[in-house]
Amino acid sequence: MDYSALAAELLSFRTALHHLPAVRGLDEMSGGEYFVLHFLLRHGGTAGPSELSRSLYASSARIAALLKHLEAKGWIVRTPDADDERRVDVVLTEAGAACIREQLGAVLDEVSVLLSALSPEEAAEYVRLQRKLLEKGGTV
């Protein structure tokens, strides 16, 4: 099997796929402000900046800038950590939760439409293969 040729073909497809609204939505959800909001929503509404930094693979300076923007929009608040006053907790506000739920709903609707171009078996297999690649890459 020529994996180099497959890799080149995948790159070509991935570049073209990036122009689809559903894929752009997925990309938006996997980085930046929406990633932070989605992470907080999935983790009970609270996390520490270092946890966000590790999950986003971003520097503490990048996380600090993101948090500043999210706080200015009223989507998060930073509160002192109850156990260690040198640290802060990042807490999702109701406005932030509403924002991410709306964004997430729109993206999931777009992705559902895109996946419906496949048979149910193909769609399940596509997701399974994506998960397998992530597991092999050590990121899940």
Q: Would you write out the chain's pLDDT as a tens digit for each of its 140 residues? A: 889 998 999 899 888 888 899 988 888 888 889 999 999 999 999 999 999 999 888 999 999 999 999 999 999 999 998 888 888 999 999 999 999 999 999 999 999 999 999 999 999 999 999 999 888 886 55
Query: Tell me, what's the pLDDT at 1?
Result: 87
Beta carbons of 97 and 53 less than 8 angstroms apart: no
Beta carbons of 93 and 74 less than 8 angstroms apart: yes
Q: CB burial class (10 A; 0-12, 13-18, 19+) of residue 79?
A: exposed
Q: Which CATH number fits domain 3-137: 3.40.50.280, 3.40.50.620, 1.10.10.10, 3.40.50.920?
A: 1.10.10.10
Which residues contact residue 129 at a Cβ distance below 8 angstroms, ignoring those fewer than 6 apart? none
Q: What is the pTM of this model?
A: 0.81
Query: Tell me, what's the pLDDT at 138?
Result: 65
Domain residue extents for the chain: 3-137
